[in-house]
Homo-oligomer: A and B are copies of this chain.
Amino acid sequence: MARASLRDSILEAGLKVMVRKGYAGAGVRDIVAEAPAPQGSFTNHFRSKEEFAREVLDLYFARLKRLVAEALDDGGLSPRERLRRYLDIITRRLAGDEFSRGCLIGDFSLEAAAQSETLRARLGEIFAEWRSPFAACIAEGQAIGEIDGAFAPEELAEFLLSSWEGAILRMKVERNGEPLERFKRIAFATTFRDPSK
């Protein structure tokens, strides 16, 4: 029990430190200090920083999926409104950190994918899994004529999530929400406009 909980504390600490400092920038020393945990406990619980980072990424994605479900499973909203709701939920989260921290999936895609084949492969799986409920929501929107049907739902879902990562990237430089709001304004008036209106 105690060991399992120490392991969890180190993972939680890893998530905090890696969102702040990136993959290469997050030292094991910083992570155990954040937990806090004895220095030796890291190697007792994790085979390598790479394996550890994969678990941290999985922890991050598990939580993100709850936010995806919160937005996309909301039966009171139309498909297009649900997409918008997701982006608003994430905006609120990012605002909570004063727009200084981004998305670990995006951070690792740019920084860690080139350093670690394990992380790159996992990121590929994560993007595919992440895209899937968005593609389903977009397909539903297309079926009722609320979203243009010129592109396949998977294509539009990829476009939405990767462009959104671009807006988060821009936000990290500006340290305000304007790049996120701009993205929503333009995307929902063009690519995701309601063609029936």
Seen from chain A, the residues whose Cβ lies within 8 Å of a Cβ on chain B are 20-25, 100-102, 106-107, 109-111, 113-115, 120, 123-124, 127, 148, 150-151, 155-156, 158-159, 162-167, 169-170, 172-175, 179, 182-183, 185-187, 189-191
Out of B102, B107, B170, name the residue touching A162 (CB < 8 Å).
Answer: B170
Chain B nearest CB: distance from A7 CB in Å?
25
Q: Which residues of B contact A170 (CB under 8 A)?
A: 109, 127, 158, 162, 165
Out of B124, B163, B172, name the residue touching A173 (CB < 8 Å).
Answer: B124
- Of A21, A123, A159, which is in contact with the most chain B CB atoms at under 10 Å from its CB? A159
Q: Which residues of B contact A20 (CB under 8 A)?
A: 114
Q: In the complex, A159→B150 CA distance in Å? A: 21
Q: In the complex, A189→B148 CA distance in Å? A: 11
Decide: B109 and A111 in contact? CB cutoff 8 A.
Answer: no
Q: A190 — nearest CB in chain B belongs to which residue?
A: B191
